[in-house]
Amino acid sequence: MNILIANDHGAVELKSAIVEALVAKGHRVENLGVDSGDSVDYPDMAKLAAERYLAGGFDFGILCCGSGIGISIAANKVDGIRCAQVFDLYTAEMCKRHNDANFIAFGGRVEYGVPVVDMIERYMASEFEGGRHQRRVDKLRR
């Protein structure tokens, strides 16, 4: 898949681990995030990634900050972005099946019960169900 990723200084290690794992599995990953611990503002990183995604060419995006919270809030301010903060395999799957999330978010300072890459793979293996869920997603947009 063609994947976009961005992060702030709170998730440099997590971002690098995700990129390495996804590239090793044959995916193309464009890294718009920072690669040093120098402080940046997560709304700026979310805006950069959202605008790049909406320009086209990507299957989905991944956003990472310290908690995963701020960068997902920021991304969801952009019309056309549905960013889900994912915590486990269930939320990884359901955010695609029911919400058609086009971004997923993680926290570099969060202790997850399953590897983040497993959650990303579950998301990628899931399909949007459409039907009544399309109606609800349309209402989000409106």
Task: Name which position in 18, 19, 34, 65 contacts ligand RB5 (CB under 6 A).
Answer: 65
Query: Exposed (0-12), middle (13-18) or buried (19+): which is 117, by Cβ within 10 Å?
Result: middle
| Position 6 contacts ligand RB5 (CB under 6 A) | no
Write down the least CB distance from residue 76 to ligand RB5, Å. 13
69 binds ligand RB5 (CB under 6 A): yes
Active-site residue flag, 98: yes
Cα dist from 133 to 77, 80, 85, whole Å: 21, 16, 18
What type of residue is 62?
Answer: I
- Rank residues 85 and 100 by Cβ distance to ligand RB5 and give the closer one: 85
Q: What ranges make up the beta strands (E) of the chain? A: 2-7, 28-31, 60-65, 83-85, 103-107
User: Which positions from 84 through 123 interact with ligand RB5, judged by CB under 6 A?
Assistant: none
Q: Which amino acid is at 134?
A: Q
Active site residues: 65, 98
Interface positions with ligand RB5 (CB under 6 A): 8, 10, 42, 65-67, 69-70
